[in-house]
Amino acid sequence: MKSLIVKATTALLMAAFGVGTALAAPETLQDVMKRRGLSQQDLLAASKTYTPSGKRDEFIAFSSGGQSGQVIIYGIPSMRILKYLAVFTPEPWQGYGYDEESKEVLKGGRIDGKDITWGDTHHPAVSETGGQYDGQFLFINDKANPRIAVIDLRDFETKQIVVSPVFKSEHGGAFVTPNTDYVFQTAQYAAPLEPRKFYPLEEFNEKYRGGITYWKFDREAGRIDPAKSFSIELPPYSQDLSDAGKGPSDGWSFTNSFCSERYVGGIEQGRPPFEAGCSAKDTDYLHVINWKKAAELVAQGKAQKINGHDVLMMDTAVKEGILFLIPEPKSPHGADVSPDGKYIIVSGKLDTHVSVYSFEKIQAAIKAGRFESKDPYGIPVIGLKDALHVQVSLGLGPLHTQYDSKPCIGYTSLYVDSQVAKWNYCEGKVLDKISVHYNIGHLMTMEGDSVDPKGRYLVALNKLAIDRFNPVGPLHPQNHQLIDISNDKMQLLYDMPLPLGEPHYAVAIDAAKLKPGVRYRVGTNSRTDKPHPGAVRAGEEKIERNGNKVTVFGTAIRSHFTPEIIEVEVGDEVTINMTNLERAQDETHGFTVSTYNVHMSVEPGKTASVKFVADKEGVYPYYCTEFCSALHLEMQGYLLVKPKGWKATGKTLAKANYTEKDYQAQLKKIADTQAVIDQVVGIITSYDYKAFPDVVSMVEDAFDQAGKIPDVKAKHEAAAAKKDWENACLWAEQVWQYQVKTADLGLRAKTYLEQNNARKVK
């Protein structure tokens, strides 16, 4: 085994210095096209998406993970999936829901004291500054259990989950105001606002309510502040998708609705079902709300407390003139404010028309007090013709609209037609259509809901994949199709199967705006961004006992945990903290203990912990779950759970037969490896490596490893002097371990410098 590792390591070192191999006769491009049946058009599409090794994407998409309760992150135009980010659902790789720190985040999402371990994510939103994506935070909603999560894009981790104090479901969210003062969401299915309060359906019109919640976002803290958040009570109209005004319409928000019939089904009791009664009328309502004024009214104490939360009641909102309705065509969907903030585009799912509302006209009607009627709750209704800029027939089942970088150009998904329509919403003209596969829901252009869309690409988020991919059973993946929108005619480029839930909306941001870290300040609790009380530095590792509570303050660095043996008694409550001492990026260690259902992912600098009651006697290996180095498998230890009152046996550990010859062989191996290290150091210092922070971290880590050698060298020499060949050999082996890690880091640094065209200084 040992000699195998020596060979493997030598081979690795040789490969890193570059030893060529002979090439077989290559196929020509024509050969490949013929063999795979590709057209010129296919080649053009391929060349627009294919991203060679080492090249990166222009845009990063954050897609809802649908029923997986996660966020899916992928690159555009390559459509390569980069990460499934754990949000509402436990996710073992990230330790989410298996370590103590993330359990605290999930606890924030408990409802009525119960864990909710799944979520129906729909609409992600990137934080904005001045209406532009700023790349700092991401928000996403959970429709099933009315919640919003806050993700920090400095480390792509979920930091907070908040639960609506007044809703039972929530579809329209998350949307942000242009400076991310508020993140808002709307109720979907009307219910009494008081939690855990029953009213019969006969009192639907009186006691059931919809609403909108404006969550106050504290950017400094990077968290939602529930105490400063508020809701507005709305009629039981199934408030749906929304958008914040921008530019001239900043300060206002727009929310569509369906089932303003307030119909209650009951097919089992012989009544026509919800779907019939909820689409009976020709129009539903667009809700127009002055949220800035609403926030002022709440600050003035005009809200009422429901479940400890400020709710501005409808009559107050009407009296203060901050809430209006406008009819919109049959079963509307989508409410998308144009980049210049002048128009709001609403589609009618059961209508071929898309309605473009003019904010200027809406304001004029409000100013003039020109209302066609009042709804049953006394809310003034602005006439459709008084608010409409233009209405365009686009096709069957229009849903959502996204914007181009070119003025007046929008793209609308046509669910029933399975098409995307490109059109001019200023003039009301259809420009182009492209077929997608199949039944498109949302669509997304690059930064397409900001004040400054970037054009270039559009992704169609199709509900059905049907025949596009190799079959994998009755449950199909969904299909995200990449479309080039940089020319007059749209061109379909690529189909990407999405194998994790049903994504609804997605947002894509210019990749250059994202600057996530690659390591934490040593000892950070990544879920609170604060120093972790369980963190220790190298050499300070300890195990503390306090009654039946055992706390381990451990560290992880290639390729060992400290401590390696943890002894407890049956019934002890065990907390194991691990700090990853690595500085080199991508040197994550994982940690688990056999059969205790715990796992943590500990990235460089992070401190995480697991906690459990050692409720069964036995021997439980623990190990590192990330392949972190050639000696990863040896990154192990034992949790010994001893019966109560166990007495030590007085025996010593079994010995092996090492000889002086073995020791000499070790010394030779050490000398050979040192020669390699010296050579690598020579190469690294021949560059101006200090200009590369990543390389500096690797070099620091390498010196860390090398710095441990003198101590251990003294140990093997002392043992050799006493002819204790076992200890001499093993400590010498440990010297070599540190050398291997030093060399490994050095080689990574060297490769990095070569690939990044570092400047030679020697």
Contacts with ligand CUA, residue ranges (CB under 6 A): 589, 624, 626-628, 632, 635
Asked if residue 117 lies in contact with residue 161, where contact means CB atoms within 8 angstroms, the answer is no
Distance CA 123, CA 384 (A): 28
Residues 398 and 382: their CA atoms lie apart, in Å, by 23
SS3 per-residue string spanning 699-715 = HHHHHHHHHCHHHHHHH
Q: Which does 454 bind (CB under 5 to 8 A by kind): ligand RUQ, ligand CUA, none?
A: none
Nearer to ligand RUQ, 333 or 519 (CB): 333
Alpha helices in 208-351 (DSSP H): 274-277, 291-299, 314-319
Closest to ligand RUQ by CB, 122 vs 454, is 122
CB proximity list for 200: less than 8 A, separation 6 or greater: none
DSSP 174-202: -EE-TTSSEEEEE--S-B-SSTT----GG
| Interaction between residue 171 and ligand RUQ (CB under 6 A) | yes
Q: Pattern 49-68, binding to ligand RUQ, x per CB under 6 A? A: --------------------
Q: How far is the CB of 713 from ligand CUA (least distance, A)?
A: 24
153 vs 578 by CB, closer to ligand CUA: 578
Closer to ligand CUA by Cβ: residue 177 or 601: 601
Side chain identity at 284, as an amino acid letter? D
* Residue 745 contacts which entry, ligand RUQ, ligand CUA, none (Cβ below 5-8 A, type-dependent): none
Tell me: does residue 441 bind ligand RUQ (CB under 6 A).
Answer: yes
Our finding on whether 480 is near ligand RUQ (CB under 6 A) is: no
Smallest distance from the beta carbon of 606 to ligand CUA, in angstroms? 13
List the one residue from 422, 504, 599, 669 that touches ligand RUQ (CB under 6 A).
Answer: 504
Partner from ligand RUQ, ligand CUA, none binding residue 554, C-beta < 5-8 Å depending on class:
none
Beta carbon of residue 409, minimum distance to ligand RUQ (angstroms, whole number): 21
Residue 606 interacting with ligand RUQ (CB under 6 A): no
122 binds, among ligand RUQ, ligand CUA, none (CB under 5 to 8 A by kind): ligand RUQ
Residue from 212, 399, 451, 728 binding ligand RUQ (CB under 6 A): 399
Q: Which amino acid makes up residue 43?
A: L
What is the distance between the alpha carbons of residues 538 and 24, in angstroms, rounded to a whole number?
51
**For 598-602, which contacts have Cβ atoms below 8 Å and span 24 or more sequence positions?**
598/98, 598/99, 599/92, 599/95, 599/98, 599/99, 599/625, 600/95, 600/98, 600/99, 601/93, 601/94, 601/95, 601/99, 601/625, 601/626, 602/95, 602/556, 602/578
Q: Which is nearer to ligand RUQ, 223 or 442 (CB)?
A: 442
Least Å distance between CB 403 and ligand RUQ?
17
DSSP state, residue 438: S
| Nearest distance from C-beta of residue 441 to ligand RUQ, angstroms | 3
Question: Nearest distance from residue 408's CB to ligand RUQ, in Å?
Answer: 23
- Cα(294)–Cα(251) distance, rounded to whole angstroms? 10
In the bound state with ligand RUQ, the residue whose beta carbon lies nearer, of 66 and 90, is: 66
Residue ranges in 442-461 that form contacts with ligand RUQ under rule CB under 6 A = 442
Q: CB of residue 354 vs ligand RUQ: minimum separation in angstroms?
A: 14
Choose among ligand CUA, ligand RUQ, none what residue 399 binds, the Cβ cut-off being 5 to 8 Å by kind. ligand RUQ
In the complex, least distance from residue 200 CB atom to ligand RUQ, rounded to whole angstroms: 30
Q: Reduce the secondary structure of 138-179 to three states and give it as a string.
A: EEEEECCCCEEEEEECCCCEEEEEEECCCCCCCCCCCEECCC
Q: Out of ligand CUA, ligand RUQ, none, which partner does residue 504 contact, by CB within 5 to 8 A per kind? A: ligand RUQ
Let me know: does 437 contact 466? Beta carbons within 8 Å.
Answer: yes
Tokens of 154: 């400095």
Considering CB under 6 A, how many residues would be counted as binding ligand RUQ?
Answer: 9
Q: Are 151 and 101 in contact (CB under 8 A)?
A: no
For the chain, the residue count is 762
Q: What value does the CA radius of gyration of the chain take, rounded to a whole number of Å?
A: 31
| Closer of 441 and 554 to ligand RUQ (Cβ) | 441
Chosen from ligand RUQ, ligand CUA, none, partner binding at 712 (C-beta under 5 to 8 Å by type): none
Q: Give the nearer residue to ligand RUQ in terms of CB position, either 75 or 172.
A: 172
Q: What does 309 interact with, of ligand RUQ, ligand CUA, none (CB < 5 to 8 A by kind)?
A: none
* DSSP run (H or E) holding 524: strand 524-525
CA quadruple 392, 397, 401, 405: dihedral sign? negative
The three-state secondary structure class of 305 is strand
Instruction: Choose between 199 and 627: whose C-beta lies nearer to ligand CUA.
Output: 627
Nearer to ligand CUA, 422 or 519 (CB): 519
CA distance 157 to 676: 39
Nearer to ligand RUQ, 333 or 716 (CB): 333
Of the residues 209, 333, 527, 532, which one makes contact with ligand RUQ according to CB under 6 A: 333
Q: Among residues 148 and 602, whose Cβ is nearest to ligand CUA?
A: 602
Q: In 55-166, which ranges are continuous DSSP H helix?
A: 100-107
122 lines the binding site for ligand RUQ (CB under 6 A): yes
Q: Which residues of this protein are in contact with ligand RUQ, per CB under 6 A? A: 122-123, 171, 333, 399-400, 441-442, 504
